[in-house]
């Protein structure tokens, strides 16, 4: 009877030990798969960030080239003002071209600022100002525009 009891205890211990080993091995495999998936996800994220940074830098470079050409065009328009009689049709066309070119330059500068922010290269400057004076100037501007 004692021998049977000893065999039962030993077999229970062996089964318990094998169960624990099986659970540990299965958990280790699951952890390895999760680590591999995490590493793959991190690599994918880093690759996407690199692509985004490269795109932003290429876009900023192209935008700077466009801005330089646009500034040259605005300069030529200003030079042409001297050669055209004021109030003539050409003068009106030049003014419209100048306005459109400056609007386009403003849009391009906004796009450049956005790309700088995305690339993490936007430098901010702290500047003190008088809020009361600013509000007064805004009110004066609105009064002049609407009166």
φ, ψ of residue 85 to 5 degrees: the values are -70, 135
Predicted local distance difference test score (pLDDT) of residue 23: 96
Sequence ranges of the domains in the chain: 2-120
109 Cβ neighbours under 8 A, 6+ residues apart: 67
pTM metric for this prediction: 0.48
CA distances, 141 to each of 93, 99, 109, 145 (Å): 28, 21, 25, 6
pLDDT by position in tens, the chain (length 147): 888 899 999 999 999 999 999 999 999 999 999 999 999 999 999 999 888 878 877 777 777 788 888 888 888 888 888 888 777 788 888 888 888 888 888 888 888 787 777 767 777 788 888 899 989 988 988 888 787
> Among the residues of 82-130, which ranges form H helices?
89-119
Predicted local distance difference test score (pLDDT) of residue 132: 92
Predicted local distance difference test score (pLDDT) of residue 44: 94
């Amino acid at each position: 009877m004692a021998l049977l009891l000893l065999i039962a205890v030993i077999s229970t211990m062996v089964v318990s030990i094998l169960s624990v080993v099986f659970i540990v091995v299965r958990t280790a495999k699951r952890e390895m798969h999760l680590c591999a998936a995490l590493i793959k996800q991190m690599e994918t994220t880093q690759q996407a960030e690199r692509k985004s940074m490269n795109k932003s830098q290429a876009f900023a470079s192209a935008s700077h080239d466009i801005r330089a050409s646009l500034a040259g065009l605005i300069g030529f328009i200003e030079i042409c003002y001297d050669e055209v009689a004021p109030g003539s049709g050409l003068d009106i066309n030049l003014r419209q071209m100048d306005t459109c070119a400056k609007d386009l330059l403003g849009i391009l500068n906004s796009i450049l600022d956005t790309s700088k922010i995305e690339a993490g290269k936007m430098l901010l400057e702290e500047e003190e100002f008088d809020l009361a004076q600013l509000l007064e100037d805004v009110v004066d501007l609105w009064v002049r525009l609407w009166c």
